[in-house]
């Protein structure tokens, strides 16, 4: 009997071909860019890509875990916007920066709780439930900001997004979060159970895993991540717009798919989702750099999503 117990994949989050597919798409994309526009690979440009991806990392990583459970969150953008506006309003009303950020985070998590109530308790489809939350969050953001950009935030706030030399704190935070998510997804019981639940929800329930509790964790991670993104955004611009982040929810889902996460749940890896976000940020950057109309950026992203989705399909049959 062969009982080699040293196989490293026993706790592995990345299911063999998915990691390879992600890497393939990522490097193929880079190669295509290299041919088309070598100047893309300048040090400053690459580090700015990493920076922008890191600003979005919390939302991507949260959404990735939710997707591992077989769920998704369309309210990410609206929650990011409302969290930014709430933090801004709190600061203007005289709260200290840390307290204002805390209030904004709690606000974001509250929307995650609403998502969970609608989807897991009232059993609405994730598509409908999180769309409802998105509508509410957007209305709240517009309501408390009177529909205009909230400006005049304290200057010290910019330390979050812009502080730190030579490496920005935001980059350290994003990369660290990514590493932490990767390790947790392999070795922490809560995250492993998310993969198991996404794989076979019924089996997980029968084995005594509290699936509803895991789903709550997933929704809170997603909305908490979105709230952090909103806070980083106001830190970077020192102003909060209620109408920003219209594309965030779908971009985040696209990043996860490019990164090899299965929409059906149970498969995917956090670093992959982060690389997926890099691809999306790169597309945006590339469009701007090359003077191509920004409208074509979405086409580039769509093609990458297509390539990645085709490569990570479980059923490899053609047509």
Partner 1 sequence: MIHKSGQLSPLGGRFPGSLSVKSLTKVYDGAPVVSEVSFSLPQLRVVALAGGNGSGKSTLLKMIAGVTSPDAGSVVWNEESLPAGDCKSARSRGIELIHQDGGLCHERSILENLFLGREHVSRIGLLRMSHMRSLADELIARYELPLPGVGAKVRHLSGGQRKAVAIGRALLSKPRLLLLDEPTAALGVKEQQMVLRTLRELAAEGVGIVLCTHSPDEIVEVAEHLLVLSRGELIGNLTLPGPTKAELALMMST
- Closer of 127 and 203 to partner 1 (Cβ): 203
Rounded least distance, CB 178 to partner 1, Å: 18
Rounded least distance, CB 10 to partner 1, Å: 4
Residues at the contact surface with partner 1, assessed by CB under 8 A? 1-12, 15, 187-190, 192-193, 195-196, 199-200, 202-204, 206-209, 266-267
> Residues 69, 214: contact at Cβ < 8 Å?
yes
Distance from C-alpha of 139 to C-alpha of 49, rounded to nearest angstrom: 31
Q: Please give the C-alpha separations between residue 206 and each of 67, 70, 265, in angstroms, as whole numbers.
A: 21, 18, 18
Burial of 14 (0-12, 13-18, 19+ CB in 10 A): buried
Distance from C-alpha of 28 to C-alpha of 300, rounded to nearest angstrom: 13
- Closer of 200 and 290 to partner 1 (Cβ): 200
- Closer of 196 and 283 to partner 1 (Cβ): 196
Rounded least distance, CB 182 to partner 1, Å: 14
Residue in 65, 73, 62 with CA at minimum distance from that of residue 261: 65
Rounded least distance, CB 205 to partner 1, Å: 9
Distance from C-alpha of 249 to C-alpha of 3, rounded to nearest angstrom: 45
Distance from C-alpha of 260 to C-alpha of 176, rounded to nearest angstrom: 20
- Closer of 1 and 294 to partner 1 (Cβ): 1
Distance from C-alpha of 307 to C-alpha of 28, rounded to nearest angstrom: 10
- Closer of 1 and 319 to partner 1 (Cβ): 1
- Closer of 206 and 294 to partner 1 (Cβ): 206
Crossing angle of helices 270-289/297-311, nearest 10°?
A: 150
Distance from C-alpha of 201 to C-alpha of 273, rounded to nearest angstrom: 23
State the DSSP code for 296.
G
- Closer of 188 and 236 to partner 1 (Cβ): 188
Rounded least distance, CB 194 to partner 1, Å: 11
Rounded least distance, CB 260 to partner 1, Å: 13
Rounded least distance, CB 190 to partner 1, Å: 6
């Amino acid at each position: 009997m062969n009982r080699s117990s040293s196989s490293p994949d026993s706790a592995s989050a990345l299911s063999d071909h998915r990691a390879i597919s992600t890497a393939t798409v990522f490097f193929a994309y880079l190669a295509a860019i290299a041919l088309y526009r070598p100047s893309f690979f300048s040090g400053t440009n690459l580090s700015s890509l990493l920076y922008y991806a890191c600003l979005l990392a919390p939302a991507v990583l949260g959404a990735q875990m939710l997707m591992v459970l077989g769920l998704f969150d369309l309210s990410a953008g609206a929650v990011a916007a409302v969290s930014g506006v709430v933090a801004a309003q709190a600061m203007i009303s005289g709260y200290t920066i840390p307290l204002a950020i805390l209030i904004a985070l709690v606000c974001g998590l509250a929307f995650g709780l609403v998502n969970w109530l609608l989807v897991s308790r009232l059993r609405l489809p994730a598509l409908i439930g999180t769309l409802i939350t998105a509508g509410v969050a957007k209305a709240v953001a517009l309501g408390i900001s009177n529909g205009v950009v909230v400006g005049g935030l304290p200057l010290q706030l910019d330390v979050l997004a812009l502080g730190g030399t030579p490496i920005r704190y935001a980059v350290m935070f994003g990369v660290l979060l990514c590493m932490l998510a990767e390790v947790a997804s392999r070795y922490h019981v809560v995250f492993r159970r998310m993969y198991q639940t996404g794989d076979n929800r019924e089996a997980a329930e029968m084995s005594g895993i509290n699936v509803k509790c895991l789903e709550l964790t997933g929704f809170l991670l997603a909305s908490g991540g979105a709230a952090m993104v909103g806070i980083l955004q106001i830190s970077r611009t020192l102003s909060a717009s209620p109408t920003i982040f219209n594309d965030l929810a779908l971009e985040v889902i696209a990043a996860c798919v490019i990164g090899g996460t299965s929409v059906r749940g149970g498969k995917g890896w956090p670093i992959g989702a982060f690389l997926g976000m890099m691809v999306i940020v790169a597309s945006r950057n590339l469009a701007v750099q090359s003077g191509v109309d920004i409208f074509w950026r979405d086409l580039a992203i769509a093609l990458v999503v297509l390539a990645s989705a085709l490569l990570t399909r479980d059923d490899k049959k053609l047509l």
